[in-house]
Amino acid sequence: MIHPAQSQAGGVVVEAAVAAEHPPVALGAPTAWTSLTLDTGCDTMLFDDSARLVWSPPALRYWPNELAGAAALGRWIGELFQGGLGAELSELIRRTAQTARPSAFECFVGRSLTRSILRHAGPARPHGPGALLVTRAVTAADSAAAFPPPGAELRRLANAPPSPLADLTPREIEVLGLIALGLSTEAIAARLFRSPKTIEAHRQSLGLKLDAHNRVELARIAIDAGLLATTPAKPQTPPGEPDHTQRAAS
């Protein structure tokens, strides 16, 4: 368990407290942490160099709420995830805390594609470094070229959860992205050189696979999965390629 302690390094004050109402790192203004954690739409957490939680907000948007608030302080992130993901995240946090080299990764949390940045945070406990994890959802305004930010190493998570779109065919992904852009069945048919009847069949298949009951729900799923950030302006599959609603066996 982390006990109350306070130290100062490089002008950054760090306070690790089991039952703190305020975050342990002072960023220069009382409102800085409130803005960072509540106004930006991000999940923000501070870990020590063993990947144990030092501070997190009362509620989290993306990560499990077992990591939220004072009751979670001292928990090891590795215990909350199965299949090797927890160990991977723990190693990334430890590496960032110990080397001061920022890293970045993408990960599906539920149906939302998120982007996370890990940065060195100075001492997060007496005589030990820490790492700050900031996570947000990918939006339509994002692009692959803008991630990771300069100076951060992009890390691939081998045990990351699969995309909720993993069972879709390439054509279905195209149709889903165009639905999310607000195109009508007729407009999608023209874009993909298919008949409206064929596009409607794809829409129905998408509804069954994604448990969506209408175009609005399909659009929401596409946006949450980050599809609009990568949807091309032109078809990915050639006009003459047959349409399928089942993925080919591998």
Which runs of consecutive H residues, i.e. helices, occur in the chain? 32-34, 85-99, 170-180, 185-192, 196-210, 215-224
Is 170:236 a contact under the CB 8 Å cutoff? yes
CATH, range 5-154: 3.30.450.20
Please report the pLDDT score of residue 224 as a whole number: 87
Which residues on adjacent β-strands are paired with residue 180? none
In this predicted structure, the answer to whether residue 39 has a pLDDT above a threshold of 90 is no
Q: Which amino acid is at 10?
A: G
DSSP string, 169-232: -HHHHHHHHHHHTT--HHHHHHHHT--HHHHHHHHHHHHHHHT--SHHHHHHHHHHTTGGGT--
Q: pLDDT tens across 86-95, in order?
A: 999 999 999 9
Name the CATH architecture for the domain at 162-250.
Orthogonal Bundle (1.10)
The pLDDT-based confidence of 212 (bands split at 50, 70, 90) is: very high
Token pair recorded at residue 199: 């596009």
What pairing do the DSSP bridges indicate for beta strands 53-55 and 5-9? unpaired
Three-state DSSP class for 135? Answer: strand
How many Å apart are CA 238 and CA 244, to the nearest integer? 13
Task: Decide which of 72 and 248 is more confident.
Answer: 72
Domain ranges (residues) in the chain: 5-154, 162-250
